[in-house]
Amino acid sequence: MQPQSPWDPGRDAIFLLHLAARLVMRRAEGELRVLGLGSGYVPVLRALADGSAQTQTGLAAHARIEQPTMAQLLNRMERDGLVRRAPNPDDARSILYSLTPRALAKVPAARAVLIDHSRAAVAGLTSTDIAQLTRILEHIIANLEPEIDRPPDPPATAIGRPRRAAPRTGPRRRSTKATPER
């Protein structure tokens, strides 16, 4: 068995991918803020930019985030006057979210900001390089998406066996159940 080489984040493709995505969004964030938008709003803006309405569940799936996170995001967007709620005519238990006219008016400018920063990120790459990068990223995403819905594996010890419950510390409580006498 070969010794494992030390992890070098500066050479790790996935670490670099994460860093690149963060840098693009950090650069775009300032311009989005001028528009009264946050980078976290982008998936909702993208999903509803056509004037449609969706449920929180649908928006969470579209953004690939958990429902509680989407609920917080929609509350912030509603507070900022960017989304509105309406009863779902097909399901009285759910609510439909849509962009307000104010938000719809901001979508073209937000789209332009994101396109500009995406272009800046790939400046110097050929169209072939960009197409290959896109295919590789789509492949990585396809590899990872099925993992999202699967429950996590139990933690393992250094030798790969599931951990046992930690031993109890402190005094044990006596059972309050009556035990039959013998």
pLDDT tens readout for residues 44-89: 999 999 999 999 999 999 998 999 999 999 999 999 999 999 999 9
pLDDT at 145: 81
pLDDT at 182: 46
pLDDT at 150: 53
Q: Token pair of 79, please?
A: 């507070």
Instruction: Pick out the chain residues at pLDDT < 70.
Output: 1-5, 147-182
Buried b (16+ CB within 10 A) or exposed e, 15-42: eeeeeeeeebeeebbebbeebebebbbb
pLDDT at 24: 93
For the domain made up of 12-149, give the CATH fold: Arc Repressor Mutant, subunit A (1.10.10)
pLDDT at 175: 47
The single-letter DSSP state of residue 66 is: -
Q: Using an 8 Å Cβ cutoff, are 163 and 154 in contact?
A: yes
pTM above 0.85, yes or no: no
d(CA 130, CA 22): 18
pLDDT at 8: 76
pLDDT at 11: 80
pLDDT at 3: 58
Domain boundaries of the chain, sorted by first residue: 12-149
Q: State the alpha helices, DSSP H only, in the chain.
A: 13-34, 42-48, 56-63, 67-79, 101-121, 127-149
